[in-house]
Structure formats: structure tokens, C-alpha cells
Structure 1
Amino acid sequence: MLMLHSAPIVLPVSAEAIADGAVLVDGDRIAAVGPRADLAAAHPDVRERAWAGVLTPGLVNAHAHLQYTDFEELNSLDAPFPVWLGRMVAKRPTFTSQMWQESTRRGLHLMLKSGTTAVADIVTEPEALVPTARSGIAGISYLEAVFEDARSWSDGGRVRMLAALDGAPGGRTVGVSPHTPYTIATAVFADCIAIARERGLRTHTHVAESQAEVEYVWSGTGPFAQSMTEAGKAMELVRDGGSGLSPAGYLDKIGALGPDVHAAHCVHCDAEDRELLRTRGVYAALCVRSNRILQAGEPPIAAYLREGSPFAIGTDSLASSPSLDLLEEAAALRALARDQGYQAADLDRRIVEAATLGGAAAMGLGDVGRLAEGARADLAVFALSESAEASMDAALGTVDTDAVYAALLDAAAAKKHRCIATVLGGTITHRA
């Protein structure tokens, strides 16, 4: 069934903005994008939904842990990352299967309410896959291997991973997430990559999130080495005194980087690391607000921009972020880029592209993050701000695309943005 979604401004992201534009939806796919008058004339009997706002592609969150939505109190600990992680680990056993599912549902609701229609979600408890699959949200759920050494992996960890992959509910694409170099042994990390590649699945991991991780990978020392030893885990990097490499260099050495992988955080990545990620085709999913809360440092976003390094944007979880609102995350990343000295005129455009096209590319998805014929009918409508209105020339019927990008981020930075509606696969799932 055809439906025409129209708005004063349509921002395809993959093309220039359209004044008085529309998106023609056929079922769960976009049939056409263009001026409203043209599409309405070509389809005179089509039902129309006229929105008062900026119509964009649904946003694409490149890194999240939906199951930790109900861990929100941890984001106010005001403690460094290793301490926070200890509290996280201690809280996990208090949750039941039902609690994990309810927590995930709440996270999904928050995402859809704020215009996110696709997510790279890391899943530690397989039962958390159920609500995500049922929601119809696009993206990939990455089943996580964490706190595994060679013995625990062979004693059941590997079997549990394979069973979770085989038993994943239909309707949801899955992948594999070897958590980090400091929580799983080198042999286990390499095996996770092998399992994913044997099955044609994508991989998502955490890389260079904290200075403690850098120390662990380089020398096998520090708080993470201590915690793994106390937990009785036999880790090669501790045994061998580290790798003498950065986290990115270490993962490349064991064959864990490639265009089928994207990496969360990438905070402590120098020019050599960034070049390595760029060469291997690895997108960095940047989560600046989480990094601040966990006192982990700041990603070198200005350098990523100047060098043309591929990046996307993620919120992480409510356990370490103030919200799951990706537009707020994008505004925070733009502010950091400016603080780091990036003042080029393309900043607003590239940040919004990272929250849409970038997230899609990070997951290898070609049909989300854009308004184009054949793409999934995932749409978001944001309230039209005064600055967005000023970008339009009613007499000429034109709109300044760069001004629209700026208006979206300005509103989010001031917490004055509002998602009017979210359309998921052609179905309205949120309406303010």
C-alpha cells in the first residue's frame, strides 16, 4: 500500500535537501523521493501524511548495549572506567532473564522515540535478542564473548556462543562481538573472528577505550591485568608481559581487523593507529559522552575528520551515557570537534552523515541511513526550528542543505530538538 510522507523540508542525507518534499513509501520500502507536488501528481490517489518538520532518514546508532538500559544509576558514579566496570560486573548477576528483556524493551522505546531506527547492539544475554527481533528495528545484534580464557572457552564458552548464534530469533541479523583484548584471551579473540568469518557474519569489538586498556595490551600490566589474574583467568598478554603494541596494532597482528569489523570508542588511537584502521576499512563508532562519564579520555575526532578516517556515532548504554538520543550524541561530538580546532564548513554535514550513512556503512548495510529509492522506509521527523525555517526561500522553493544540518545539531545541543515521528519499515512506531 502506498503512503506519501511529506514535510516542509526533506533531508535525504544521500542527496541535497528538498523544500516542500515528500517520500513515497510502498510497504516497507521507499519508492521515490522528491518534490511533494511531483509525487502527488504522479500518484493522485495516494494517502498522504503531512508532517510539520524536517523529514530525515531514521538515525543509525553504531554502538549500544540495549540490555543495560536499567543500569542507569551507574552513569552517575563519577568513577574511572576500571572502577565502573567492577560495579557493572557486580550488578549483572542480580538480573533475571525477564529483567534483561524488560531493560532491552525500554532501550528500544527510547531509541525509537528519539528517531533511531537501526542499531549495532551488543548482546551478552541471548534472551535480550527476543524484544529486539520483535521490535523490527534494523541493524545487527552482536553476541558477545567476555571474561573468557582458553579453558573456560573450551569448557563451554564456545558451545554457548554457537548455540546463541544458531538459536537467534528470526527477523534479526546477528554478528559476533569479542569484547576486548583485556577480557578475553588472544586465542579466544581469534576464534571469535574465525567463527564470524566462517559464517559470513560481521564483528564488532571495543578498541582503545581507556588508557588502562592501552597499558594492558602494551605491557600486560595495570588494573585490568590485576582483575583478570584475581579472577583466575589465564591471559596470554599478562603471561607474556604484553604485546608491545597498541590495541589497534595488536588486533591487526592477530588478524582481527578488516572491512567486516567495526570498532567502538577508538579513543586512544594515534596517527599510526588511525591509518591502520583506515587502511583495513574499519569504522570507529565514537561515543564521546560515555567516554567522558567513564573518564576514559576524548576521541581525536578532529583528526578523524581531517584524515578522512571512517567513523560513525554510538550512544553506548544508559549505564555510561546520559541518554540514548543519537542526535544529542552527534551534537556533543560536533562540539568536541570544534574544541579540537576543526572549523571547516563541512562539519555539520559530516557529523549528521556519521549518524546515518556512517552507522549504516559500519554495519555493512546499504539500505538504511538514507532516503533513496529501494531503501528501507525508516524515517524520522524532527520539529522545524526557526533556524531551519530561515534556511528556506519560499519564493524560490529552495532550501540551504548545510543550514538544515546545522539547525538539527544546534537544536540538539540546546536540548530543544523534538522527534515528532518515527517510521520503521513503513509503519509509524512513534508519534509525538
Structure 2
Amino acid sequence: MQIRRIAAHQLHTQTGEVLPYGGVAIAENGEILEIFQLEAANPEREGVEFYNGILTPGFVNAHTHMELSFFNGVFVPGGSMVAFLRQIDSLRIDIDQQVIDKALADAYEILKRDGQVAYADIGNAADTVPFKQHEDFDSISFVEVFGANRELADSAWQTAGRVMERFRAAGITQAYFTPHAPYSVGRELWDYLMPELEKAPILSLHFMETAQEVEFMNSGTGAMDNLYRNVWKRTVNIPRIDEVMAHLAHLGKLGKRMLLIHCVALSQALMQQVKSVAPNAAIVLCPASNLFIEGRMPNIPLMLREGMPLAIGTDSYSSSPTLSLLDQLRIVNDYYPEIPLSTLITIATKGGADACGFSDLGQLRVGSRPGLNLLEGKGLLQGSLAHATVRPLANRKGWTA
């Protein structure tokens, strides 16, 4: 068995303190055999690959829409959620399957180069099935449904059932039904969903993404109500936010993990309520997408002060110009330089692994195979990601560089 001993100026194990001049002995199959610390006066020791940078576990992407990778560069910043939804609804084109598959293959290569070892993926179709049957990642697949009234709910549920059959026929066991968002899932569809959500260990929900969503969920008025009734000419039977919170409280009592995506407009009071009724819920940040759609960032310092578990995701090319988690971290680092770099690394590693239930990932522990990333760049050790790059040294299956 071949072994490499790799060290750097910092080792972020996520099992304890950051180790200055820390390193790992890692087997060819990616297993961590030892964690060690070098002397600061003599870090470049024979038999040890020493790097000027930071070693971390592999990144965990807690929110993707891989099947939408063909949308790269199609949309323009909308200025609001309603404007973005109108862009999506106006795009009525048939995409050739070869185009979809090529875009997916390219997107998966980006995830590998970015040091991602696992991801939680939203889908409305089964285009990712061939990739997930043979991937080098750990993944969770959510078959997402939305429908604002009974007619739409019936159609959405039938379509989702066919998609789920494709996943199960392919032997993809970590695939679960999930609601899209509070503003897009009507009462009838919640009724269809609930038995499945009660059986599944985890769900994903786009949650409190914009002020327009908050207004609609609280009072049934505003730009989103106008979109439904006057633009789309659609009847709606959407539950108010207290009904949605009752659903989350019920699932919280059952111990379900919940990925609450975006949370840009999440108030402190609602944040505290979520924490109380859904102890296994985590907020998944998608900063590039938030800036693209509405030009706002979530209040991450408040989330940290409130003790909310945080993870991070890339969303899709429909609303983000990048599928790199390092780019997402760079945005947060730029907007909130007061947040320690060690916290950002935790969000991208252990935070995502804990939120998704990837028990063997997110931490550099002896006996685990969590992947190994090297972060390098000017200013990195002073806490800046402005010039940072990531070099994956190992993934779930072994050495990569």
C-alpha cells in the first residue's frame, strides 16, 4: 500500500482546533492513516510533502441543480424573484438530450476540480441518473415538486412519481421527494408529500428567499400574488407561513434533517422558531445565486450568532455563474470579512456533511476517506480568499494529484 505524508501551514481537521504545520498520512485509496504536526522551525522534513497553504477535507455542496447545467449564461440578473420566475416561465424551448448530457459532464468536471466530494441535488427530471450510477461523489437526489392548486398538484405528483421510478430502477437509493418552496407548493401537494417526507430521512426546501416571498406567505399579497393571479392567470391554494411551519414542526419531531435553502429574508424571530421546532435543520447559503436574483446577501453573522447550523451550495447555472464552492466562499469572505476563514471552511466541509448526513465526510479523521483539498494563494493565511485557489489532492476513491 502506497502512502503519502502531506502537510501545510495549517491543517483544518474539523475535529478540533486548527493545527499549525499539520499534516496527514493518506493511503492511495484516500484513507486517512495518521494526523501529525510538524515543528514550526523545521516543517520541510524528508518524506513529507509540505505546502504553503491550508489543508482541508473535501468540500460538500449542499444545494445543486445539476440537470440545469445547460442553462449556463442563458438568464440575466432579474432584480427580484418574481422577475426571475417570469424569465423561467418565458423559456419554452426543447433542449437536445446531447446538449443536456454534455453540459452535465462539463459540470461534474467542475465539481471535481473544485474539490467537491459530495453534493445534494435537486431534480425535476431524471437526466442525472446515468451520471449518478457511476460517479466518484457521494450524493443525495431530491425529486422536487411544485404546484399551486389541485390540478397542478395532480400533474406534478404523477410526473415526480415517474422520475422517482427512474432513480429507483437505476439502484440510486438516496433519492427522496421534496417540496420546492413555500410559495409554490399548494395545500393539496403538501398532502401528497407528507407521507413520503415522513418516511425519508431528509428534505430540502427553498425557504424565505426574498422579501416578495415573505409578503406573499404572510398576507397573500404583493408581486408574487400578482404574478400568480394576473400574469399566469392561475388559481392558488398556498398555505400561509404558519401552516408551513406546522409541517416543519411535525417533521422536526420525527428527527428529519432539513436543508433550508437561501434564507435571505429569514427574520430573527422565524430563525429562532425554526431552531426550536426543527433541531436538525440547517441553512444552506447560495450567495452567488442570491446576488444574481435579488442583489442581496443573507445575514450570515446573525445566523452564526443565533447558532444556526450552516452549509453552502452552488445552486444552478440558471442563477449562478459558477459551480465552485470556493467561489461561493470567496463571495461571503468579501461581504463579511469579519467571519473567520476557519468558519467558512467549516461551512463548506463539516457543515455540509452534517446537514446532509454524510457521516464519513467533512472531517479529517483516522480511518475516514473524506477527500483532501489544498488551498493556496496570496493573503490566504491572513484570512483572505481573494486570490485563493483549490487543488484537490484526494477524493473519495483516492489520490487525484
- TM (norm. structure 1) is 0.79
Amino acid at match of 2:367: G
Q: Which residue, out of 2, 23, 39, partners 1:21?
A: 23
Looking at structure 2, the residues matched to 62 and 102 of structure 1 have their Cα atoms a distance apart, in angstroms, of 23
3-state secondary structure, aligned to 2:204: strand
| Alpha-carbon distance, 1:371 to partner | 0.9
Partner of 2:244: 251
Amino acid at match of 1:181: P
Partner of 2:302: 303
Looking at structure 2, the residues matched to 313 and 62 of structure 1 have their Cα atoms a distance apart, in angstroms, of 6
Amino acid at match of 1:260: R
Looking at structure 1, the residues matched to 358 and 142 of structure 2 have their Cα atoms a distance apart, in angstroms, of 15
Q: Is the CA contact 1:119–1:137 (under 8 Å) kept in the aligned structure 2?
A: yes
Q: Is the CA contact 1:20–1:36 (under 8 Å) kept in the aligned structure 2?
A: yes
User: Does structure 1 residue 351 correspond to structure 2 residue 348?
Assistant: no
User: Does structure 1 residue 418 correspond to structure 2 residue 389?
Assistant: yes
| Alpha-carbon distance, 1:359 to partner | 0.8
Higher mean C-alpha displacement, 112-121 vs 68-77:
68-77
User: Does structure 1 residue 265 correspond to structure 2 residue 236?
Assistant: no
Query: Relative to 1, partners in 2 of residues 1:267 and 1:417: Cα closer, same or farther, differing over 3 Å?
Result: same
Looking at structure 2, the residues matched to 126 and 139 of structure 1 have their Cα atoms a distance apart, in angstroms, of 14
Query: Relative to 1, partners in 2 of residues 1:183 and 1:20: Cα closer, same or farther, differing over 3 Å?
Result: closer
Partner of 1:7: 7
Q: Is the CA contact 1:100–1:128 (under 8 Å) kept in the aligned structure 2?
A: no
Q: Is the CA contact 1:382–1:417 (under 8 Å) kept in the aligned structure 2?
A: yes
Query: Relative to 1, partners in 2 of residues 1:255 and 1:226: Cα closer, same or farther, differing over 3 Å?
Result: same
3-state secondary structure, aligned to 2:128: helix
Query: Relative to 1, partners in 2 of residues 1:53 and 1:334: Cα closer, same or farther, differing over 3 Å?
Result: closer
Partner of 2:136: 136
Looking at structure 1, the residues matched to 354 and 147 of structure 2 have their Cα atoms a distance apart, in angstroms, of 29
Q: Which residue, out of 368, 373, 376, partners 2:366?
A: 373
Amino acid at match of 2:389: R
Query: Relative to 1, partners in 2 of residues 1:363 and 1:228: Cα closer, same or farther, differing over 3 Å?
Result: same
Looking at structure 2, the residues matched to 323 and 206 of structure 1 have their Cα atoms a distance apart, in angstroms, of 19
| Alpha-carbon distance, 1:194 to partner | 2.4
Partner of 1:399: none
| Alpha-carbon distance, 1:96 to partner | 3.6
Looking at structure 2, the residues matched to 13 and 31 of structure 1 have their Cα atoms a distance apart, in angstroms, of 16
Give unpaired runs (5+ residues) of structure 1: 38-46, 389-402
3-state secondary structure, aligned to 1:87: helix
Q: Is the CA contact 2:208–2:264 (under 8 Å) kept in the aligned structure 1?
A: yes
| Alpha-carbon distance, 1:139 to partner | 2.9
Q: Is the CA contact 1:25–1:377 (under 8 Å) kept in the aligned structure 2?
A: no
Give unpaired runs (5+ residues) of structure 2: 40-46
Amino acid at match of 2:145: A
| Alpha-carbon distance, 1:145 to partner | 0.8
Count of equivalent residues = 384
1:42-89 CA-to-partner distances (Å, cap 9, x unmatched) read: xxxxx9977675331111111121222231224543542212222223
User: Does structure 1 residue 217 correspond to structure 2 residue 221?
Assistant: no
3-state secondary structure, aligned to 1:351: helix
Q: Is the CA contact 1:22–1:33 (under 8 Å) kept in the aligned structure 2?
A: yes
Higher mean C-alpha displacement, 297-306 vs 88-97:
88-97
Higher mean C-alpha displacement, 215-224 vs 363-372:
215-224
Q: Is the CA contact 2:372–2:393 (under 8 Å) kept in the aligned structure 1?
A: yes
Q: Is the CA contact 1:11–1:56 (under 8 Å) kept in the aligned structure 2?
A: yes
1:154-184 CA-to-partner distances (Å, cap 9, x unmatched) read: 3x43233234334313356223331112222
1:76-105 CA-to-partner distances (Å, cap 9, x unmatched) read: 435422122222233364324433333222
Query: Relative to 1, partners in 2 of residues 1:382 and 1:255: Cα closer, same or farther, differing over 3 Å?
Result: closer
Partner of 1:312: 311
Higher mean C-alpha displacement, 17-26 vs 122-131:
17-26
3-state secondary structure, aligned to 1:127: coil
Looking at structure 1, the residues matched to 93 and 201 of structure 2 have their Cα atoms a distance apart, in angstroms, of 29
Q: Is the CA contact 1:377–1:426 (under 8 Å) kept in the aligned structure 2?
A: no
| Alpha-carbon distance, 1:267 to partner | 1.1
Partner of 2:122: 122
Q: Is the CA contact 1:118–1:137 (under 8 Å) kept in the aligned structure 2?
A: yes
Partner of 1:100: 100
Q: Is the CA contact 2:117–2:370 (under 8 Å) kept in the aligned structure 1?
A: no
Looking at structure 2, the residues matched to 270 and 310 of structure 1 have their Cα atoms a distance apart, in angstroms, of 16
Q: Is the CA contact 1:18–1:34 (under 8 Å) kept in the aligned structure 2?
A: no
Partner of 2:327: 328
Partner of 1:400: none
| Alpha-carbon distance, 1:26 to partner | 6.4
Q: Which residue, out of 270, 273, 276, partners 1:276?
A: 273
Partner of 1:43: none
Query: Relative to 1, partners in 2 of residues 1:183 and 1:95: Cα closer, same or farther, differing over 3 Å?
Result: farther
Partner of 1:398: none
Q: Is the CA contact 1:74–1:84 (under 8 Å) kept in the aligned structure 2?
A: no
Amino acid at match of 1:189: W
Looking at structure 2, the residues matched to 189 and 355 of structure 1 have their Cα atoms a distance apart, in angstroms, of 31
Query: RMSD of aligned C-alpha atoms?
Result: 2.9
Looking at structure 2, the residues matched to 149 and 97 of structure 1 have their Cα atoms a distance apart, in angstroms, of 31
3-state secondary structure, aligned to 1:122: strand
Partner of 2:62: 62
